[in-house]
């Protein structure tokens, strides 16, 4: 629950009153009226743009209209001062008695503080990771995985019914290549010298256990079979092992999906869902046989101009129509992806979020086109593209090459710096901006390292709560008990700044959720940690500002309540990011 929510209603009520009084036309649109916290503290605690938004419609100057609104707000007992400023802002200064309510709310609600009901229980499908099951996960997958997971957490926190989903690309040529690679390892396990793994197959050692398992299960049976018979067996075994490995990698980051959706199941299930999808599109008149122009500006010797089955994606904003069937007669990947999203829609998801890597940016328009076509515009698809991650070690780029085998896996990353730092850093950047990840920096104990800085604040708060027991052993430190402290005793500017910051948390959460931008939580936590550290440091020079103030038990109790609130919000925010809050640093 946002502590400021009531004030927004107050502003709207004032506008309603003015409509009643004939100052503002009854039909005036109140869209765009906001109530927010000004950046500059001298502008008060809250500010609304109502007068500026309505000025034109009311035929009054913004400031003149503000003069009419202001008295209506001033009557609120929680509002101490109403000022008109700048081009027509109405700035509200809240009564000092208001602020203790914030902390009381935090302490009474505990883990629920900051939760929101804006999701209204709406079903949202978040698809993320969806790495090809052909090997271990590498760093490139990591960002999308963490992003999708944190976004899902954020949506849950704001009242959505979230399903976390992984689309398993277990159909197509690369999975057959995987199967052949596993088959080679099987022969190797039987004692055969297989030599070098041929080009186009997967050379990694991680397939050796699959070969050994096949050998143990089937002995030499598979050797006698034609490829058409052993391939499905090898494929199934390899896929199972790869998925287990991927789930294990994801587990090391605390990531767990609700649904693993098999691409293969679209055509090998009870019905051919891709054929159904194409038929569906056909009845909508969106499928035709035609030719595509060759790609311009690049030489493609393999280009073959041919009639093919096309989806009219261009009618829904895509740049051109898209083929659904390959020249060999099998479905193109896109056809399966449409069928998959159609399946999501049929399962009741009207809001879908796909988290893609930068290399999939070209798919955004066509996927949105497909969703619009299949749902008659009823479903909404947001696609979040995570840009590349560049690895550094103490400022030096880490060279990676898939061929040279110097590729950094997700597992290596987590093993070296830990899941928490990996998650936090992957989220400490907007998704559509590239991200630099420095192995050394994330483990540094400095203000420059936000992971440390935020964790340190939480550990420090925990430390205060431990230490206060020595001075006041009888203080009840439970949040519910601290809520009844005399919070009016908190009057220092540093304390007030902290309370105001804490009061922002619910709005930051809602804004981050609405924008699908979990990074905002990370930046908020950094700011909150900064306010807390600053106040702590002032206690060095001014002992009367210390949280634990031996000569005043009640004041200490109020300050401990503040510290407990900071700790709670830090923990909640870290929880959304999926980072475990530390009680001690080591």
Partner RNA sequence: GGUCCCGUAGCUCAAGGGAUAGAGCAUCUGCCUUCUAAGCAGAGGGUUGAAGGUUCGAAUCCUUCCGGGACCGCCA
Where does this chain touch RNA (CB under 7 A) — which range of 111-119, 231-239, 340-348, 424-432? 424-432
Least distance to RNA from the beta carbon of 61, Å?
9
CB of 154 to RNA, least distance (A): 14
Tokens (6 digits) for 110: 């505990």
75 binds RNA (CB under 7 A): no
> What is the pattern of x (binds RNA, CB under 7 A) and - over residues 29-58?
---x-x-x-xxx-xxx--x-x--xx-xx--
In the complex, least distance from residue 529 CB atom to RNA, rounded to whole angstroms: 8
Contact between 333 and RNA (CB under 7 A)? Answer: yes
Residues in contact with RNA, shown as a per-residue x/- string from 379 to 398 under the rule CB under 7 A: ------x-xx----------
Binding mask 124-163 toward RNA (x if CB under 7 A, else -) reads --------x-------------------------------
3-state secondary structure of 381: strand
The verdict on 319 binding RNA (CB under 7 A) reads: yes
Span near RNA by CB under 7 A; candidates 231-239, 275-283, 441-449, 481-489: 441-449
Scanning residues 450 to 469, which ones bind RNA (CB under 7 A)? 453, 456, 459-460, 462-464, 466-467
Strand order in the sheet with 389-393: 396-397, 389-393, 435-438
Query: In this structure, what token pair is assigned to residue 555?
Result: 């004041």
Residue of 125, 158, 262, 308 interacting with RNA (CB under 7 A):
308
Residues in the chain: 586
Which of these, 190, 177, 181, 200, lies nearest to 223 by C-alpha position?
190
Q: Work out which of 16, 436, 475, 497 binds RNA, going by CB under 7 A.
A: 436
User: Which CB, 213 or 341, lies closer to RNA?
Assistant: 341
Contacts of 543 (CB under 8 A, 6+ apart): 549
Listed ranges 119-127, 203-211, 399-407, 525-533: which one lies at the site for RNA (CB under 7 A):
525-533
User: What is the Cα–Cα distance from 437 to 416, expressed in whole angstroms?
Assistant: 13
Asked if 571 contacts 538 with a C-beta cutoff of 8 angstroms, the reply is: no
Region binding RNA by CB under 7 A among candidate stretches 117-125, 183-191, 396-404, 529-537 = 529-537
Stretch that binds RNA, among 9-17, 231-239, 243-251, 360-368 (CB under 7 A): 360-368
What are the CB-based long-range contacts (under 8 Å, 24+) for 480-486? 480/107, 480/108, 482/107, 482/557, 482/560, 482/561, 482/564, 483/103, 483/104, 483/107, 483/108, 483/561, 485/554, 485/557, 485/558, 485/560, 485/561, 486/554, 486/557, 486/558
Stretch that binds RNA, among 145-153, 233-241, 248-256, 510-518 (CB under 7 A): 510-518
Query: Which CB atom, from 213 or from 351, has the smaller least distance to RNA?
Result: 351
Residue 585 sits in the site that holds RNA (CB under 7 A): yes
Q: Which of 268, 378, 396, 432 binds RNA (CB under 7 A)?
A: 432
Smallest distance, Å, CB 320 to RNA? 8
584 binds RNA (CB under 7 A): yes
Which residues inside 283-302 make contact with RNA, applying CB under 7 A?
Answer: 291-292, 295-298, 300, 302
Token pair belonging to 392: 């550094």
What 3 state SS string does 494-560 have? Answer: HHHHHHHHHHHHHHHHHHHHHHCCCHHHHHHHHHHHHHHHHHHHHHHHCHHHCCCCCCCHHHHHHHH
Tell me the window of 106-114, 139-147, 344-352, 520-528 that interacts with RNA (CB under 7 A).
520-528
- The answer to whether 349 touches 258, Cβ cutoff 8 Å, is no
DSSP for 429-498, please give it. Answer: S-TTS-EEEETTGGG--STT-HHHHHHHHHHHHHHHHHHHHHH-TT---SHHHHTTS-GGG--SHHHHHH
Residue 114 Cβ vs RNA, minimum distance, rounded to whole Å: 13
Residues 77-96 close enough to bind RNA by CB under 7 A:
85-89, 91
96 vs 330, beta carbon nearer RNA: 330
Residues 254/578, Cβ–Cβ less than 8 Å: yes
Cα gap 533→522, rounded to integer Å: 16
């Amino acid at each position: 629950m946002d502590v400021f929510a009531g004030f927004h209603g107050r502003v709207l009520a004032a506008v309603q009153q003015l409509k009643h009084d004939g100052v503002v036309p009854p039909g005036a649109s109140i869209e765009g009226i906001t109530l927010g916290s000004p950046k500059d503290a001298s502008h008060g605690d809250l500010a609304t743009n109502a007068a500026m938004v309505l000025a034109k419609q009311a035929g009054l100057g913004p400031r003149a209209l503000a003069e009419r609104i202001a008295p209506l707000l001033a009557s609120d007992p929680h509002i101490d001062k109403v000022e008109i400023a700048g081009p027509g802002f109405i700035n509200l200064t809240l009564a000092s008695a208001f602020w203790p309510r914030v902390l009381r709310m935090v302490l009474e609600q505990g883990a629920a503080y900051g939760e929101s009901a804006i999701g209204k229980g709406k079903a949202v499908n978040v698809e993320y990771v969806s790495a090809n099951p052909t090997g271990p996960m590498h760093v490139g997958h990591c960002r999308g995985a963490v992003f999708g997971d944190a976004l899902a957490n954020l949506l849950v926190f704001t009242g959505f019914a979230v399903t976390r989903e992984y689309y398993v690309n277990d159909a197509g040529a690369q999975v057959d290549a995987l199967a052949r690679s596993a088959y080679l390892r099987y022969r190797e396990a039987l004692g055969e010298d297989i030599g070098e793994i041929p080009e186009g197959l997967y050379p990694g050692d991680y397939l050796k256990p699959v070969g050994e398992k096949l050998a143990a299960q089937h002995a030499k049976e598979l050797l006698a079979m034609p490829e058409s018979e052993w391939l499905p067996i090898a494929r199934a075994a390899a896929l199972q092992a790869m998925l287990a490995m991927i789930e294990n990698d994801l587990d090391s980051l605390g990531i767990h999906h609700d649904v693993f959706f098999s691409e293969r199941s679209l055509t090998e299930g009870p019905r051919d869902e891709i054929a159904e999808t194409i038929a569906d599109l056909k009845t909508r008149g969106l499928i035709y046989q035609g030719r595509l122009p060759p790609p311009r500006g690049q030489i493609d010797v393999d280009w073959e101009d041919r009639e093919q089955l096309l989806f009219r994606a261009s009618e829904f904003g895509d740049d051109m129509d898209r083929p659904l069937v390959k020249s060999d007669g099998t479905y193109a990947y896109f056809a399966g992806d449409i069928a998959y999203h159609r399946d999501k829609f049929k399962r009741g998801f009207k809001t879908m979020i796909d988290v893609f890597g930068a290399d999939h940016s070209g798919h955004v328009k066509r996927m949105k086109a497909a969703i619009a076509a299949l749902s008659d515009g009823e479903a909404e698809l947001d696609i979040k593209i995570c840009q590349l991650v560049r690895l550094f070690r103490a400022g030096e780029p880490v060279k990676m090459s898939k061929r040279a085998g110097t590729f950094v896996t997700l597992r290596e990353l987590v093993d070296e710096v830990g899941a928490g730092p990996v998650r936090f850093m992957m989220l400490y950047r907007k998704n559509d901006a590239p991200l630099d990840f420095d192995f050394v920096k994330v483990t540094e104990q400095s203000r420059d390292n936000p992971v440390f800085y935020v964790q340190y604040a939480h550990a420090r708060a925990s430390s205060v709560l431990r230490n206060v027991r020595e001075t006041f052993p009888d203080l009840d430190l439970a949040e519910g008990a601290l809520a009844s402290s005399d919070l009016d005793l908190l009057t220092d500017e540093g304390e007030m700044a902290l309370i105001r910051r804490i009061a922002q948390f619910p709005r930051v959460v809602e804004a981050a959720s609405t924008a699908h931008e979990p990074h905002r939580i990370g930046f908020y936590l950094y700011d909150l940690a900064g306010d807390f550290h600053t106040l702590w440091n002032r206690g060095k020079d001014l002992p009367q500002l210390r949280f634990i103030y031996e000569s005043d038990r009640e004041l200490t109790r109020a300050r401990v309540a503040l510290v407990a609130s900071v700790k709670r919000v830090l923990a909640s925010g870290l929880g959304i990011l999926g980072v475990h809050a530390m009680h001690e640093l080591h």
